[in-house]
A and B are shown apart, each in its own frame.
Chain A
Amino acid sequence: MKPANTVPRGATLGLRAARQVFGHEIVLQMKNRMFFMALWGTFMWVLFFGYFMAAQAQPARDLRVGVAYPPLAAVLARSEHLEVAAFERDELAWEAVRRGDVLVAVSVVPDGRGQVELMLDDSQAAAARAAQAAVMAALLAEADAQTPGVALGPAVKVREAWGLRMADEGYLMRVLGPGFIPMSALMLAFTSGGFALLAEKTRRTIFLFALSPAGRGWLLLGKLAANLVLLVFVVALMIPLVVYWIGVPLTGSLAALIVGQALGGVGLLGICYALSSLPMVKTEIGLRMIIGIPVVMPLTMLSGIMYPLPLLPDWLQTVAGYLPMSWMMEVTRETFYRGGGFAEVGRELVKLAIFAAAATVVAVQSLVRLLRSQ
C-alpha cells in the first residue's frame, strides 16, 4: 500500500518555495545579525581607514618648520599652519630635519639674491609636502605685502566647487560621507552573500535547499530577491544619514542614486555568492582570504571612497576605471555633488547593469554547483 504524496509540482511549488525562502532569508539575516554586521562594517571601514587616509587632504595645522634666519622666522610665524622652531645656524635646522624634529628646514641661500632653500623630511610624505606648501604660501604672502600685485599670495582667491568647506572641522566626514552608500552595499554583499552562505555551508543547512524538490532557480530567486530588498533598505538608511547627519546635500536624482547602488550591490552580491560557494572556502578565515583581501580591499581602496584616485599612479587609475565600485562611487559623486540624474550617470548605470547580470549568472551557476555537491 503506497501512501499519498501531497507535495505540489511545477510553478505552484516553485512560487511557494521562493516566497518562503524570501521571508526566511530576511528573518535569518536579522536574527543572525548579518544585516547589522554590514552596517557596522561600513562605519568601521570608512571611518577607521577612510578618515585617516583622507586626513592628508585636509589643510594641515601646526606643521613644524625649523629656521635659523630671524627675519624669515618672523615671516613664517605669521602663518596659521606653521609652528616655527628657531635655530642658531642652518646646519642645526638641517640636523633637526634628519632627526625628525621638524618637517622642513628653511634657510637663505648665501649669495642667492634672496633665494630660499627648503630641506624636506621626505620620509614624511604628504606632511612634508603640506609644510612645503604652507611655507611657500607664507613667503608669497609676505612678498605680496611688500610689493602688492607682484606676488600671487593674497591675490589668489579660492572657490570650492562643491561647497564642502575644506577649512572646517567636519570637512573629512563630508568628503567621506557619500562613500558610506556604496560601502554599505559592498558590506551587505560581503556579509549576506559571503558570511551567510558560508554559515549555511558549515552548518549544513544548505542541505535543505539541496533536498528541496523546487527548482533551483526558484530557490535562488527567493534568496537573491531578499538580499536585494535588504540592500535597497541599507542604502535607503544611509542616504538620510549622509544628508542630514553628515551634512552633504543630495543635489541630484535620488532614484538614479538608488538604482546605481542596487545594480552594483546585486553584482557584488553575485560575486560574493560565487566566491563563497567555492569548495575551498570552508572557514571564516578562508572567506576573508578569498573575498576580504583580494576583493573587498581593492574594491574599497581603488573606488575613490577613501583615497583620491588622482593621487594614484596611472596604472592603478586605469585598474580603478574597470572596478564596479568606482562606477558606484561615480554615480554617488554625480548625484550628490553635481546634481546629476539618469542622463548624467547613464553610462555608469549601463556598466553596472551588465555587471549585475553577469555576476548573477555566475552566482546562480555557482550555487547550483554547490547544491549539487551536498
Chain B
Amino acid sequence: MSMTDRNHEAAVAVRDLAVRYGKVEALRGVTLDMGWQTAVALLGPNGAGKTTLLRVLTTLLPRFAGSALVDGHDVRRRAADVRRVIGLMPQESNLYEELTAWENMKIQGGLYGMPAGAVKDRAGRLLERMGLTTVANRPVSTYSGGMKRRLVYARTLLHDPPIVFLDEPTTGLDVQARAVLWEDIGGLLSSGRCVVLTTHYIEEAERLCRRVVVLDHGRVIADGSPEQLKIAGEKTLEEVILNLTGRELRLG
C-alpha cells in the first residue's frame, strides 16, 4: 500500500509537520495518523503545540512545513474541502451574545450551506441533547459559562462533520455538564467519526480516548493507549505525563 493510499484511508494524516512563530518552533517534525471511529486525545503542557496542531488541521494556519491531509484532502491546497468535513470547537465561547441560541445555530448552518429545514431539525435535536431547548430563544448573553460551552459544542456538530476537533471542550464546566458532554462525545464515535480533543483533564482523556498522543516542545513524545503508556510502572496517566514532560511550570 502506497503512502497516498494509506493517507486516504486515514481521517487525519500528518507527515513531518513543522510550524514556526518567528524564532519559536511550535511544532517540530510531527508525524501522526488518525483513523475513523477513533477518539484521540492530544495531551501536553501549555505551549506544547496542541492548539497549533489543531490550527493546521483545521486550515487556520496555512504556513507550515511537511504535509497534512484531512479526509485525504491537503489542508493547504484543498482547504475548502477540508472545511466541509471538519467541525472545530474552539477554546473560547465565541458566540453572538446578543443573538439567541437558535440564531447562533442558524448562522452556523448557513455558513455550511444547510437548508433552513435541516438547520431547524438538527439544531433542535442538538439543543435538546445539550439541555438548552427551554432557553433556546433567550439571548446568549443571559447564559452561564457552562451553557455557552454546551451551545458551542452543539454548534460544532450542526453540519454533522465526520471529523470533530474539540479544543479543551469541558474547561470551566460543572460536573453535570461535563458528564453530558462526555456521554455525547462517546456517542460521536458510534457513527464512525474521528474525534480529536485537546484537554488538560487526564481523566477526560482516559475516559473518552483509546489513544493518547503526548506533545511537548512541539514534538510527539508518546503515542499509544493509556495502558500502553503506563509502561514504567506509573499508576495513572497523570504520572505518565509528569514523568514525560517534567514538573517545571511552563510559560506557554
Which A residues are closer than 8 A to B by beta carbons?
1-9, 12-14, 16-17, 19-21, 23-24, 27-28, 31-32, 203-205, 207-215, 219, 372, 374
Q: Which of A13, A24, A27, A203 has the most CB of B within 10 A?
A: A24
Check B115 against A24 for contact (C-beta < 8 Å): no
Provide the bound-state CA to CA distance between A194 and B42, in Å: 38
* Contact of B113 (CB < 8 Å), options: A13, A203, A210, A374: A13
User: Could you mark each residue 187-216 of chain B with 1 if its beta carbon is under 8 Å from any beta carbon of chain A, else 0?
Assistant: 000011100000000000000000000000
**Chain B residues with CB under 8 A of A20:** 106-107, 109-111
- Known A6-B159, A208-B94; contact A213-B110, beta-carbon cutoff 8 A: no
**Chain A residues with CB under 8 A of B159:** 6-7
Name the segment of B15-23, B77-85, B126-134 touching the other chain. B77-85
Check A16 against B99 for contact (C-beta < 8 Å): no
Check A372 against B62 for contact (C-beta < 8 Å): yes
Check A7 against B110 for contact (C-beta < 8 Å): no
Distance from A323 Cβ to chain B, minimum over Cβ atoms (Å): 34
- Known A7-B159, A205-B95, A213-B83; contact A1-B111, beta-carbon cutoff 8 A: no
Check B84 against A2 for contact (C-beta < 8 Å): no
**Chain A residues with CB under 8 A of B58:** 211
Q: Which of A3, A23, A205, A210 has the most CB of B within 10 A?
A: A3
Q: Which chain B residues in 80-110 approach chain A with CB under 8 Å? A: 80-81, 83-86, 88, 90, 92, 94-99, 103, 106-110
Q: Which residue on chain A has the smallest CB distance to residue B83?
A: A213
- Known A16-B115, A205-B95, A211-B58; contact A24-B110, beta-carbon cutoff 8 A: yes
**Chain B residues with CB under 8 A of A21:** 107, 110-111
Check B112 against A212 for contact (C-beta < 8 Å): yes
Check B60 against A374 for contact (C-beta < 8 Å): yes
Q: Which of B90, B107, B159, B192 has the most CB of A within 10 A?
A: B107
Provide the bound-state CA to CA distance between A374 and B54, in Å: 12
Check A203 against B97 for contact (C-beta < 8 Å): yes
Q: Which chain B residues in 44-91 approach chain A with CB under 8 Å? A: 58-60, 62, 71, 80-81, 83-86, 88, 90
Q: Say whether B36 faces chain A, with CB atoms less than 8 Å apart.
A: yes
Check A17 against B111 for contact (C-beta < 8 Å): yes
Check B192 against A5 for contact (C-beta < 8 Å): no
Distance from A168 Cβ to chain B, minimum over Cβ atoms (Å): 44
Check A209 against B92 for contact (C-beta < 8 Å): no
**Chain B residues with CB under 8 A of A214:** 80, 111-113
Check B193 against A3 for contact (C-beta < 8 Å): yes
Check A205 against B94 for contact (C-beta < 8 Å): yes
Provide the bound-state CA to CA distance between A7 and B87, in Å: 12
- Known A3-B193, A5-B162, A9-B84; contact A211-B110, beta-carbon cutoff 8 A: no
**Chain B residues with CB under 8 A of A17:** 110-113
**Chain B residues with CB under 8 A of A9:** 84
* Contact of A219 (CB < 8 Å), options: B60, B90, B96, B111: B111
**Chain A residues with CB under 8 A of B193:** 3
Q: Besides A2-B11, A5-B162, 19 other CB < 8 A contacts?
A: A3-B36, A5-B160, A7-B84, A7-B114, A7-B159, A16-B113, A20-B106, A23-B110, A203-B95, A207-B90, A207-B94, A208-B94, A208-B107, A211-B88, A213-B84, A213-B112, A214-B80, A214-B111, A372-B62
**Chain A residues with CB under 8 A of B85:** 5, 7
Check A3 against B192 for contact (C-beta < 8 Å): yes
Check B106 against A24 for contact (C-beta < 8 Å): yes
**Chain B residues with CB under 8 A of A209:** 111
Check A16 against B110 for contact (C-beta < 8 Å): yes
**Chain B residues with CB under 8 A of A208:** 94, 107-108, 111
* Interchain Cβ contacts under 8 Å between A and B, 26 examples: A2-B11, A2-B36, A3-B162, A5-B71, A9-B84, A16-B110, A16-B114, A17-B110, A19-B110, A28-B98, A31-B98, A31-B99, A203-B95, A204-B90, A205-B94, A205-B96, A208-B107, A211-B59, A211-B60, A211-B88, A212-B111, A212-B112, A213-B81, A213-B84, A214-B112, A374-B60
Q: Say whether B31 faces chain A, with CB atoms less than 8 Å apart.
A: no
Q: Say whether B245 faces chain A, with CB atoms less than 8 Å apart.
A: no
Provide the bound-state CA to CA distance between A6 and B62, in Å: 25
**Chain B residues with CB under 8 A of A7:** 84-85, 112-114, 159
**Chain B residues with CB under 8 A of A204:** 90, 92, 94
Q: Which residue on chain A has the smallest CB distance to residue B91?
A: A204
Q: Say whether B37 faces chain A, with CB atoms less than 8 Å apart.
A: yes
